[in-house]
Amino acid sequence: MSDPLNRKPWPMKWVLLAILACVIPYTWITVAYRKPNPAYQPYEDSKQRANVHRLLQAGFRRIHLPATPTDGAHDAFRARPDLAAVVTAPAGLTPELDQTLVETPPLPLSFSTVSAPVNAEAGQPYSLAFTCVSGEQKHPLFGAHVYVKEGTMVIVPSFAPPVGTPPPRAAEESVVLTLPADALKPGSYTAHLAGSEESRQWTVEVR
């Protein structure tokens, strides 16, 4: 019987072959079956869950809206007879929303034009158009989050995630946002369009 204490080690070539025999199939399986979804980000996921919990506790509903880029949006809106009187407002979010969110999202600097109807029909979509001054944001505007609570509607423009090299973009962007038909119940709402240096506000009557 062989002595286990004096057993000769494997030749190095067999060790290398054994490693390759394990590594090559593992690499192939990993590449072939890897999910295309983004990698798990514990901090970002925890922050999102905390945001959702705090919004629910504070009574906010959050609605995500895609943005439709268009340079002629304001021409169509300006022809309407029922546009709201839009006024300047303090920079940033409303105080209650600012205290509720885990952190303040990136915002455009200000808004050169805002066109929004003063009236809306319950059960019908509600559209508005604006041109924002993007400032140092290098990625395009791709939508907005709308936070609704007890007669307040806070519109927070959202920029595309910073993935890859951003394309060249203008200093201003004109977009249209459309709230879905079930977003607003009948009543009077103060709409707050948030900018980091200057926000805009107007009143919407939902009938």
Q: What is the pTM of this model?
A: 0.73
Topology annotation, domain 59-206: Immunoglobulin-like (2.60.40)
Is residue 195 within 8 Å of residue 86, measured between CB atoms? no
The H or E element containing residue 78 is helix 73-78
CA pseudo-torsion sign 25, 27, 29, 31 = negative
Listed residue (67, 146, 51) closest to 104, CA to CA: 51
Does residue 111 contact residue 74 with C-beta atoms inside 8 Å? no
- 158: Cβ–Cβ under 8 A, 6 or more apart, which residues? 64, 105, 141, 142, 143, 144, 145
The pLDDT of residue 201: 97
Q: Going residue by residue through the chain, which has 207 residues, state the pLDDT in tens, using 9 for 90 and above.
A: 555 555 566 566 666 676 767 767 666 666 555 555 555 556 566 777 888 888 988 899 999 999 887 765 556 666 677 899 999 999 999 999 999 998 888 899 999 889 999 999 999 999 999 988 876 666 678 889 999 999 999 999 988 765 555 555 567 788 899 999 989 999 999 999 999 999 999 999 999
DSSP 140: -
Say what the pLDDT of residue 94 is.
Answer: 95
Residue 84: name the closest of 126, 49, 55 by CA.
126
